[in-house]
Structure 1
């Protein structure tokens, strides 16, 4: 079993109602590039982690074709919500109506017993050191901290200390940063933290690599040149 990751697919139906090449020529046929690489790398026994922004759809019924397109690709897929995933519904509804190769993380965790590994996560939010952080962001920030703690604590109580955490928003910019997301990641000794959300010039300032005991990965699809990153 191998574990791959990619985020910010930004699908919008077929034909797309919001073609991504309006954001730059590098996005032209981006889904075809991703699916070509995915199909060559991933087998049915592998896992693909998708940290948010799967579909531009506003409603769940509109997102279903995009979710089904992802489900049709090889492997088991584990998703968290991104800031543009307005279609997101309750876990019960999504799991009932979506193909069985899609698994949604929110206030829960998933086990990969073959690897003695737990998958945790939440959407996250901008951190207080972000210059755009406002007073009204504080309740959302605290809610996401609570969701991440619940996911991590549930995994720990199930006996897991080998943990991968998915966040949509980056939890740090510099190695020396300090916030509640990083405190939780350190407290639970997360092995890998995978995040997306960043595009264009912001990719160049993203933190990658080892901080304390955690390896940080940026997996926005354009940052990866529309290929999957192998995590394990």
Structure 2
């Protein structure tokens, strides 16, 4: 089976509080680790859609990532906006985890699906969107295409993003447009917490199942996708 969850915000130092985003974040790390192996079996795969660890460098992140590695299932990880520790793909792969793969300009074939994705970015109609944001936005669109093109086989596809594929009015943006062009089956995202949940859009549009899997939104229970 394939599951998904995002925004674990692990912090082995326990110095970073997420409770400002609501009661759902009380003892959230305990919830994550208690829930995971009750739901996920060793033969399953979990897609983690960014904001994985509060660590600032790869050495510190290793401590949190090792905890994930020790949980049941294979894991495919995507960079979020707070994953400052995320390094080059070579350095990440050199960590040599037994069950973790890193998604960036590539894809992984799992249970009949190509797992594709990229971080994404804030929408172009955001009031704070700048020329720099435009450069990042275009780069992220290209990274999504790179990922979707990585496997030349005509497989079914699941796309994971960190940022929602949404404009400020909850209409679908260019990231969804690419998914439509590639006939993606599922489009998953995270990033939205607490009051931000009112910005969530879910449903089936043009045959694509759109779902938010931010940790607090799904009560830190990995969501079954397929």
Shared fold per TM-score greater than 0.5: yes
Aligned to 1:25: 23
* Residues 193-208 of structure 1 mapped to structure 2, 5 A cutoff: 193-208=187-202
CA distance in 2, matches of 1:175, 1:130: 10
Q: Which 5+ residue runs of structure 2 have no aligned equivalent? A: none
Matched, 1:220 2:219: no
Q: Residues 161, 26 of structure 1: CA spacing in aligned structure 2 closer, same or farther, 3 A cutoff? A: same
CA distance in 2, matches of 1:151, 1:26: 33
CA distance in 1, matches of 2:83, 2:174: 24
CA distance in 2, matches of 1:125, 1:71: 27
Aligned to 2:86: 88
* Residues 73-152 of structure 1 mapped to structure 2, 5 A cutoff: 73-112=71-110, 115-152=111-148
TM-score, normalization by structure 1: 0.92
CA distance in 2, matches of 1:209, 1:175: 16
CA distance in 1, matches of 2:33, 2:17: 16
Q: CA deviation at 1:153?
A: 1.4
CA distance in 2, matches of 1:131, 1:176: 15
CA distance in 2, matches of 1:30, 1:128: 32
Aligned to 1:10: 9
Aligned residue pairs total 226
**Counterpart secondary structure, 2:46:** strand
Q: RMSD between aligned alpha carbons?
A: 1.7
Q: CA deviation at 1:84?
A: 0.2
CA distance in 2, matches of 1:111, 1:99: 18
**Counterpart secondary structure, 2:94:** helix
CA distance in 1, matches of 2:168, 2:132: 24
CA contact (8 A) 1:67 1:98 kept: no
TM-score, normalization by structure 2: 0.94
Bigger shift: residues 28-37 or 127-136: 127-136
